[in-house]
A = this chain, B = another copy of it.
């Protein structure tokens, strides 16, 4: 075989190029996730759930059993599955809209019940799939399709601090962190620790990944990186927030 792309083994090459837009952050997160699945050698017992949101474009992304669910409902589907089969490593993958808006009751209650599942959330500060509406994570002043004059925090509050909320509601066995596609190596480390937390049956795991959406941000490559590394970083602090029995990296 000639030289081939360095895709994670758990990526399904038959479905590549994948369905995400050019320059999207989702596949970067999924690359980190795929490498972790490879390294932990758990493709046979992992179930990957993807939400409605651009995450659904990953419904045939992995060589891993995958369930594409409803908008905001990936967490309960994966929780229900994990409750029924404790051998499963359940990963619920979703966007900021799916996790912090329509699915927030599932996120906070799964965290509160210390469900042994891993919720991985791509924060791209808006609703990507539906064409760029305001999300709970939209930055102050950011223009979106439903905040055409810029998000007014007087009217709609400040950007949601998701991991901080999850940390506040979860028990001491939860792993909570925020990574970024601007630092994929660190993100991968967080994802690995998160999966280990559920693999070892210790507790809930949550990682928010700051992501990219050049399509709806209407940014070129330069501004795409700038938005995630400068603008988003101002509001969303990258690092570990809760690490069971360990010092955080942050």
Which residues of A pack against B, CB within 8 Å? 100-105, 108-109, 112-115, 136, 153-154, 156-158, 160-161, 164-165, 167-171
Contacts and interface: CB of A to CB of B under 8 A. Distances in A.
* Among all A-B residue pairs, the 3 with the closest Cβ atoms: A168-B168, A114-B157, A113-B157
A168 B167 contact: yes
Contacts of A164: 168-169
B104 A108 contact: yes
18 contacts: A101-B105, A103-B105, A104-B104, A104-B109, A108-B108, A109-B136, A112-B160, A113-B136, A113-B157, A114-B156, A114-B157, A115-B157, A157-B171, A161-B168, A161-B169, A165-B165, A165-B169, A168-B168
Contact of A109 (B101, B114, B115, B154): B101
Contacts of A104: 104-105, 108-109
A84 B105 CA distance: 25
A107 to B, nearest CB: 9
Q: Most chain-B CB neighbours within 10 Å: which of A101, A113, A157, A165? A: A157
B158 A114 contact: yes
Nearest to A114: B157
A127 to B, nearest CB: 14
Contacts of A136: 109, 112-113
Nearest to A102: B105
A180 to B, nearest CB: 20
Contacts of A114: 153-154, 156-158
A108 B156 contact: no
A104 B109 CA distance: 8
Contact of A112 (B115, B157, B167, B169): B157
B156 A113 contact: yes
A123 to B, nearest CB: 14
A171 B167 CA distance: 16
A208 to B, nearest CB: 13
A130 B100 CA distance: 29
Contact of A168 (B100, B109, B165): B165
Contacts of A170: 157
Nearest to A162: B169
Q: Most chain-B CB neighbours within 10 Å: which of A100, A160, A164? A: A160
